[in-house]
Every structure is written in C-alpha cells, then in structure tokens.
Chains A and B, each alone.
Chain A
C-alpha cells in the first residue's frame, strides 16, 4: 500500500501547488514558496518556547501564522513600490534571521529547526495515520492536503474571473470595481495554506519545486489561464509518477527524484513546445531564411 499512498500524497501536493503556482508564476512571485519555507522558523521557535512541546498541529498553526505574516509583509512592500523579488528577499531573510537568533538565545541545546519539527517526509506518509477511536482513516497527510485542495479549488473556482483579471490586468480590474488588494491577499493566503500544509506532509524541496516547475512548464505550452492550470496540475502529477518510479530504480530520495522529473518535463517543454520551444523556433527561423533566399 505504501506506493499508493505516496503517489496519492504526491499528486495532491502537485494539485494544490500546481493551481496556486500558476498565479505565482504569472505575477513573477514564484519564489514565495521558498520564502515561506524559511520564514516560518520564528513561528516554530516561539511556539516551542511557549508550549515546550513539538506537537505537530501546534507547530503547523504557528507556521501558518508566520506564513500569513510573510505574505502580508511581502504584499505590503510590493504595493508600496518595492520590486517583487526584493520584497520577497527582504521579508524572508529577516524573518529567518529572527528565528536563528531565537534558537541561539533560548534553545541552543534543542534539536529545533524546520527540518526536525515541521517538515514531513513523503517517504513516511503512509505510516502517519489519522485515527479516531481506534479506527484508522488513512494517512493524515492525505486528509490535510485533500481539505487544502478542496478549499483552494472552491475559492479559485468561485472567483475565477476576478483572479484572472487581477492577474493579467490589475488596472482594468480596479477600473471595473474589483477589490484588487483583497483578491491579492486572498490568493496569498491560499499560497500560505498550500505551502504550509504541504511542508508538514512532504517536506520543503518538493513543495518549492511543485509550486514553480510545473507551472512554468505549463506557461511554455499555453496562453490560456484555464488550460495553464490544467497543464500545471498534469505536469506535477506526471512528475510524481515518473519521479517515484525513478526513486525505486535508483534507491534514492523520493522528493528529490520527483522534483528532478519535474525539471526534465520543463526542459522538454522548453525545447519542444509547439509555440515557444527552442527547436520549433529554430526550425521556423530556418524555413523563414530558406523562403527569403528563394
């Protein structure tokens, strides 16, 4: 059964991250996942210092709070005219540094970092079961990610048109009376939720990879938002399957192999995309040159 649960968990992460990843890539904010992976550190340390426990639910709540603080601060700086990449960089390095200071001040002798406390490992999802009254209901990660996916699809589905206009033409969106700032923060809230619950289930590298790489692959293949979301999810899920097979074959880290597979899919799209692929453009150029010399 372990294969089934690992693949299902990977696919759920791919779906959650694939959907929000598209919007992040379109807004040139792709690295926000990496930023959140670092900036949750102070939250974890503070939660540990207050409670003295390493209880997963509490840590996740603390991480979620700091995830939201991160996206709010990034949004605040961005809206006051600082470049997207710079505001992401400023916020996450500062917050992470606060976490490092807190550890060195109060918790030197404790094994305390995101890796040890918050980040899960996709290899172990099928052992971390959710039980109620002695009855096993399947892996916790699947429930957590399933609920996250439901919330994301629901909100994106309900406000699809608003999100679309805000992403492509914020000026138009404002002109026709859409609360641009509200939808920006709503989206960022979803990003924070998707990343934190995925961190808890499968670890950082897989989440950061799944947020960016499949969405970028989809970006190369289409210009329609709906298709791009579908392709992004598909690319993520296909990478999960290819990557997992590779990890069996190589006896290597599962998350590492999945992200590598996603990278290879991106490379394939980069070379062979029917509209923007390197090969296609070269061919088009040559045929143009040939027709000119004739």
Chain B
C-alpha cells in the first residue's frame, strides 16, 4: 500500500515536470513565431469581416492597401467560426473593419476590446438611430437589423467611414483615397437609381419579396417592396410550424408567384413552404438565388458588392414581373 502511494506521487511529480517543460518550450517557440511581422511593402494592412466590407475597402484603398477578408463567399456570418489563420490576420492588421450591430455575434465584443490597442472600426456605428430598422417585437433592449448593405444609400455612408479612416491612418495617400471613394460612390449612386427604377417596374400588387430569413428589411424599405422572411434575422433561430403555415397562407392569399433562396442559408425551410402551398393548389416557384449575408465567388460578377446587388435586383424583377 505505502509503496504504491510513493510510486504514485513520483509519477505525479514526473508528469508535472513534463507539463511545465512542454509549456516553457512552446512558449519560447510561440514568441519566436510572433516576432516576425512582415511589412507589406509599406502598404496599410486591413482585415475586414464580411466580403462586402472587404470589397469596399479594396475599392477605396486601391493599390495602397492589402485587404484580407475573414468570411469568404457563401459563409453565413451568424455561423462563422474562426480558424488559426484568422487570428493571425487580425493580429497583423493595421486597421480592422467590421459590420457591427451584432452581425458578428460574440466577436463584436472582442472587437470592442481590441479598439483599445489598434484602430477597429464598426462601419455601422456611424449610422443614426433613425436610419436603422429597430425590431419592435423584441423584448428588452433595442435590437437593430444588421443587414445595412442592402440599402445602397446606407452602405454609401459605410464607404465614407472607410474613406475617412484610411485617410486618417495613411495621410500620405489621402487624396487617392478621396478620389477612389468618389468614383465608387458614384457607381453606387447609379446602382441605387437602377434598383429603384427596376423594382418600381414590378406591378405594385406583386411587389412582395419572400425569402428564407429576414435579411432584406433595408432593401424593402429603400426600394419599396414588401419583405417577408420565414426565419428571423438570425439564421440560428428555429422556425416553427406556425411560421411555415402562416407564410404558406400568405403566399396563397396574395397570389405570390415566386419565393427566393439565399446563397448562405439552407433551402430546406423554404421548400417546405412551397410544398405546403402546392397542397393548397397554389403553385409557387423558386425565383432564384439571392446573395444575402455573403457575396458570390471571387472573380465572378456576383463576387463584388455592386454585382451582388445588381444580381439580386435582376433576379427579383425577372421572377416577379
């Protein structure tokens, strides 16, 4: 019995020594790892959370910035998981841009913490209270719809925030940033006018946009189209059988021809609604895929913010007209 005990504690001591050794070794290795901090050829290194922000930064920053986005094509920001490389991208960045309004979930808290050590900017934080859509049904605390990029006018103020931040951090190139932003803002102005004109061409009584989750509130408000989502703003919230049957009845009553699926949300939920409507003798088709929380693949037309909005507008108009 005693012998066993002694052997036991000897083993414990051995384990502890091993542990501390391995901790010490890896600490040293770790510090060596972070010491390298390559200068990106004098370029400002920017990390952005969503593709929409990364796109705007590279439009404004042009050749003077190096932009990395965390959330790639097709990734739902509500469900985003960070990889080890993402930690590096955030560590190495000179400036970080994120959306804010809880789009990034708990990561938002982290960004607020990081603000103390480096410039971290929430592009939505400069919008005024009355510009945001507040959900009246939410109990406790004001919660805003974070999908601001679908109102091109609102997103233009995000671009202005990016422009001003870049100019402040890199005054040497402020003029170029100003010029780039001006050109980009002009294109956005045109896009805004295009969207207004196209949506207005849909007959008023079929101007209803039905999607899988409530991402298009700002779009609806800006361009005059009623918006209905099966899920709430958050793609994680469960939709109930009441939601499905309510939406089904809504489709039948209003004679809606088409509903839309989203690139970053599963199509299953919306299919069950279509199936339900069919049983009631109302044929609804899937009008096409809209880009909601993430853009299309890089290199394609939909891989840019302008292309994505244009694609959404065209898809909606084509199916509802």
Supposing A3-B30, A11-B23, A117-B106 touch, asked if A109 and B232 sit within 8 A by C-beta, the answer is yes
Q: Interface centre among A1, A113, A123, by most B CB within 10 Å?
A: A123
Asked if A247 contacts B84 (CB within 8 A), the reply is yes
A252 within 8 A of B: yes
B38 within 8 A of A: no
The secondary-structure label for the interface of chain B is: helix
Residue in B22, B83, B110, B137 whose beta carbon sits within 8 Å of that of A252 in the complex = B83
Which chain A residue lies CB-closest to B118? A127
Asked if A2 contacts B34 (CB within 8 A), the reply is yes
Q: Which residues of B contact A226 (CB under 8 A)?
A: 8-9, 12
How far is A208 from B144 in the complex, measured between Cα atoms in Å?
Answer: 33
Of residues 206 through 247 on chain B, the ones whose CB sits less than 8 Å from some CB of chain A are 214, 232-234, 236-238, 240
Asked if A110 contacts B240 (CB within 8 A), the reply is no
Q: How many residues from A make CB contacts under 8 Å with B?
A: 57
How far is A116 from B214 in the complex, measured between Cα atoms in Å?
Answer: 18
A30-38, A51-59, A260-268, A282-290 - the one binding chain B? A51-59
Of residues 248 through 279 on chain B, the ones whose CB sits less than 8 Å from some CB of chain A are none
B4 within 8 A of A: yes
How far is A127 from B91 in the complex, measured between Cα atoms in Å?
Answer: 9
A49 within 8 A of B: yes
Which chain A residue lies CB-closest to B103? A111
Asked if B238 contacts A109 (CB within 8 A), the reply is no
Asked if B15 contacts A234 (CB within 8 A), the reply is yes
Q: Which residues of B contact A244 (CB under 8 A)?
A: 84
How far is A146 from B110 in the complex, measured between Cα atoms in Å?
Answer: 21
Supposing A123-B87, A124-B107, A127-B113 touch, asked if A104 and B12 sit within 8 A by C-beta, the answer is no
Given A234-B15, A234-B19, 19 extra CB contacts under 8 A:
A3-B29, A4-B30, A7-B27, A50-B140, A53-B141, A109-B137, A109-B232, A110-B233, A111-B234, A113-B236, A117-B106, A127-B113, A230-B11, A238-B22, A241-B26, A247-B83, A247-B84, A251-B83, A254-B87
Name 12 A/B residue pairs within 8 A (Cβ), A-sorted.
A1-B34, A2-B87, A3-B33, A49-B139, A52-B139, A109-B232, A127-B113, A227-B11, A237-B23, A241-B22, A251-B84, A252-B83
Which positions in B face A, CB cutoff 8 Å? 4, 8-9, 11-12, 15-16, 18-19, 22-23, 26-27, 29-31, 33-34, 78, 81-87, 90-91, 102, 105-107, 109-110, 113-114, 116, 135, 137-141, 143, 214, 232-234, 236-238, 240
Which positions in A face B, CB cutoff 8 Å? 1-4, 6-8, 11, 48-53, 56, 100, 103-104, 106-113, 115-117, 119-121, 123-124, 127-129, 131, 224, 226-227, 230-231, 233-234, 237-238, 241, 244, 247-248, 250-254, 257
